[in-house]
């Protein structure tokens, strides 16, 4: 009956706590009848111990009246093998966002585990990702409403920097974002250049107040004086934390101004995207990594024990150019060569592309990139055209999950042709307007680090602070509640 299709869908599919129960028989209909559909792919045997489903359902309940065009759905992959294979579901839980009824290239919703964050994530995908600030009073109201607030101060709101900032806001739903180009607002905080500021509310004896923002908690994204960051991943409640932490502080003093030392609390769920970026697992901690913000190159400390000597040796070898790059790779998929476009990972990349008898054309892509997602269907069509050719391979590789030493990447998507023959002459090409894209991951990680900052004042005198929080020698990324 016209006008009752969604109700019929809910009755046919079944609904549990405001979440549609989806399967192969009704999935197409769900996509067709909902503009926005957020789907949780779950495996009860694996996900039964987590509370994601409860948080997911709570978000669905809260948005039911406020935003009825946004629907939540759940798929049990233990009974829906075709849907699991179609969307390449390998980890649990996995959440994907479908827009305008299309099942092509759904957006991954990664690192979100709380109802409030699900709501913010969806709203920023379906509407503005930031609040436009037009007055000082509005800025003050936004700053005082939350423990952490990220505000971008810009000279004008139509440039690459603003686009990167808005894209970052979509992927960091845990915190409110605002932006302004208002001269009075910028003057009130003493900001002249394009600057990102993280405002941190701190507790005082009789309530709460806000710290002196610009002098202690601002970070210039586009003019970072310290490009080398070392990160220690460890739980702060472990029995060995105090000893490791003291060693870390001791080593930080020697490299002040050369390497910024950061502590990441692995118990803090809001740091999930930082773990994901560095591919740190629970079994890896405590772990130490160095990141160069200019090249995005990552280095792993070769020693397992976090001692002062090991830290100093690692930092010095990095500064001397002797540290070895840490290259990550996904496992080779069983069906990597079954589709027209072959799937490459770090472990099979060299074997496939450096081939004397086959010409290989590779698309290097990032799943978070809007432009990459738009180009992937076109890349699939190119693969279909050359599927019958034995001397040509059309391939793709996720550069956020696989590090390739032989190819320098600074923008996404990135295309490279590896011609057949002994010369291995490599030809490259890029898409258009990619400069702002390659900045996105770095900005996102930077925002998360700064938003969970606690400066160890007992270790560094007040006069050591700089307006950019980058000469303090040591900061900690952790929960401040």
Q: Kindly list the catalytic residues.
A: 47-50
Residue 422, classed as helix, strand or coil, is: coil
Contact (CB, 8 A) for 56 and 40? yes
Give CB contacts under 8 A, 24+ apart, made by 385-390: 386/340, 387/340, 390/358
Spatial distance between the Cα atoms of 288 and 291, rounded to a whole number of angstroms: 10
Q: What is the CA radius of gyration of the chain?
A: 24
Tokens 């996720």 correspond to 398
Residue 280, classed as helix, strand or coil, is: coil
Spatial distance between the Cα atoms of 383 and 361, rounded to a whole number of angstroms: 10
Spatial distance between the Cα atoms of 122 and 89, rounded to a whole number of angstroms: 21
Beta strand segments in 335-381, E: 341-344, 359-365
Strand 70-76 with 36-42, pairing: parallel
In 87-182, alpha helices (H): 115-126, 136-145, 160-171
Please tell me the number of Cα atoms within 13 Å of 300 on its side-chain side: 13
Residue 263, both tokens: 């502590």
| C-beta neighbour count of 324 within 10 angstroms | 11
Q: 223: closest CA among 199, 200, 198, 196?
A: 196
- For residue 286, cis peptide bond before it (omega within 30 degrees of 0): yes
- What are the residues whose beta carbons fall under 8 Å from the beta carbon of 9, sequence distance 6 or more? 20, 26, 29, 30, 33
Spatial distance between the Cα atoms of 40 and 93, rounded to a whole number of angstroms: 7
Contact (CB, 8 A) for 367 and 396? no
Q: 366: closest CA among 377, 376, 352?
A: 376
Contact (CB, 8 A) for 207 and 237? no
């Amino acid at each position: 009956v016209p006008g009752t299709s969604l109700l019929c869908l809910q009755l046919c599919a079944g609904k549990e706590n405001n979440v549609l129960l989806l399967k192969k028989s009704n999935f197409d209909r769900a996509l067709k009848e909902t503009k926005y559909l957020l789907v949780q792919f779950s495996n009860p045997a694996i996900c039964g111990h987590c509370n994601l489903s409860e948080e997911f359902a709570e978000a669905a309940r809260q948005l039911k009246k406020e935003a009825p065009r946004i629907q939540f759905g759940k798929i049990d992959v233990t009974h829906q093998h075709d849907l699991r294979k179609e969307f390449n579901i390998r980890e649990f839980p996995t959440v994907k966002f479908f827009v305008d009824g299309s099942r092509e290239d759904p957006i991954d919703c990664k690192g979100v585990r709380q109802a409030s964050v699900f709501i913010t994530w969806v709203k920023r995908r379906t509407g503005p990702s930031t609040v436009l600030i037009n007055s000082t009073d509005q800025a003050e109201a936004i700053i005082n409403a939350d423990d952490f607030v990220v505000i971008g101060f810009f000279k004008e709101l139509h440039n690459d920097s603003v686009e990167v900032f808005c894209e970052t806001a979509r992927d960091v739903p845990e915190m409110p974002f605002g932006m302004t180009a208002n001269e009075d607002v910028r003057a009130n905080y003493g900001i002249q250049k394009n600057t990102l500021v993280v405002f941190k509310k701190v507790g005082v004896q009789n309530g709460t107040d806000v710290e002196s923002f610009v002098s202690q908690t601002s970070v210039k994204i586009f003019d970072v004086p310290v490009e080398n960051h070392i990160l220690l991943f460890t739980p702060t409640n472990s029995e060995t934390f105090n000893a490791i932490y003291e060693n870390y502080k001791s080593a930080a003093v020697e490299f002040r101004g050369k390497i910024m030392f950061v502590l990441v609390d692995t118990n803090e769920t809001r740091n999930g995207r930082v773990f994901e970026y560095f591919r740190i697992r629970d079994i890896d901690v405590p772990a130490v990594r160095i990141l160069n913000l200019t090249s995005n190159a990552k280095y792993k400390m070769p020693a397992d024990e976090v001692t002062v000597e090991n830290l100093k040796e690692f930092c010095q070898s990095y500064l001397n150019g002797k540290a070895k790059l840490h290259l990550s790779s996904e496992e080779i998929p069983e069906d990597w060569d079954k589709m027209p476009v072959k799937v490459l990972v770090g472990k099979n990349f060299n074997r496939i592309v450096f081939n004397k008898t086959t010409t290989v054309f590779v698309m290097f892509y990032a799943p978070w990139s809007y432009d990459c997602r738009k180009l992937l269907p076109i890349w699939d069509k190119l693969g279909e055209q050359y599927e019958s050719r034995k001397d040509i391979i059309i391939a793709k590789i996720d550069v956020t999950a696989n590090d390739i030493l032989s190819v320098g990447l600074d923008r996404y998507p990135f295309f490279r042709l590896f011609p057949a023959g002994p010369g291995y002459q490599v030809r490259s090409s890029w898409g258009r307007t990619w400069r702002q894209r390659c900045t996105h991951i770095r900005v996102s990680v930077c925002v998360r680090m700064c938003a969970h900052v606690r400066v160890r004042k007992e270790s560094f005198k007040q006069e050591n602070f700089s307006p950019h929080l980058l000469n303090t020698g040591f900061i900690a990324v952790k929960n401040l509640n």
